[in-house]
Amino acid sequence: MKTETISNNKQAAFNGFSTEDIGDDHLFTNLETPMKPNAFEMSNDEKKKRISILFSEVMDVLGLDLTDDSLKGTPDRVAKMYIEEIFSGLDPKNKPKVALFDNKYQYNQMLVEKNITFYSNCEHHFVPIIGKAHIAYKSSGKVIGLSKLNRIVQYYAKRPQVQERLTNQIANELKTVLETEDVAVIIDAKHLCVSSRGVKDDTSATVTTYYGGEFNTSAKIAELQNYLNN
């Protein structure tokens, strides 16, 4: 499938829509997280210093008093949070190391890990996406530790995201790691860009799914949904 990335510098309309309209329409332009080729030339310490300076400017423009005891440490705190926590999934060095083990129990049915809580951030407005991921796979002869499934979800969630991309990134990683097409990913999430701004709908949620291999049948989908609903 051919995908195209919209230039960050393009301010003109795209197919008749403004950049603001595109953001509100929840468009994503690439299955990979859009990154600059030189994204990791700067060290994390340098990035934190730069973000702190820039965030100080944002706060100053908003009219906040950066000499106030409650606010003067905020730029540094935000910079540290961005690099070490909520956007740490941008750095491939933080990708979880996954070891495969022989399926000695010869368990050949689906394994389901459900209700994996994650926190991400909408790449259109940089506000939280809060949700749960449900993962299932059928062993191809190898298995991984259950906690690694959680870590894979967290790694891809900790970056500016679009839920459709997040779903596919988790699925593709699982297929690669587990050496099988038989994986399923279901994500149910609330977007604060919908509930706290814009239409301000606090009750809606978004569900995205990926069904691969044996999971891409009506019978398997129904079986998986049965497990998730119990």
User: Is 125 marked active-site?
Assistant: yes
User: Is 46 marked active-site?
Assistant: no
**How many domains does the chain divide into?**
2
pLDDT in the model for residue 210: 97
> 134 φ, ψ to 5°?
-120, 130
| Candidates 26, 113, 123, 181; catalytic one | 123
Band (22; pLDDT cuts 50, 70, 90): low
| Candidates 125, 181, 214, 223; catalytic one | 125
- Is the whole-model pTM more than 0.95? no
Whether pLDDT at 14 is above 70: no
Angle at 119 between CA 116 and CA 125, to 5 degrees: 145
Is 167 inside any structural domain? yes
User: Is 26 marked active-site?
Assistant: no
Is 222 inside any structural domain? yes
**Whether the Cβ atoms of residue 167 and residue 208 lie closer than 8 Å to each other:** yes
Q: Give residue 45's domain range.
A: 31-86
| Candidates 154, 169, 173, 193; catalytic one | 193
Is 11 inside any structural domain? no
Instruction: Kindly state whether residues 56 and 115 are assigned to the same domain.
Output: no
Q: Which two tokens stand for residue 65?
A: 């008093």
Greater confidence, 103 or 178? 178
Is 3 inside any structural domain? no
Whether pLDDT at 114 is above 90: yes
Q: Which two tokens stand for residue 60?
A: 């100053």
CA 165, 167, 172, 177 torsion: positive or negative? Answer: positive
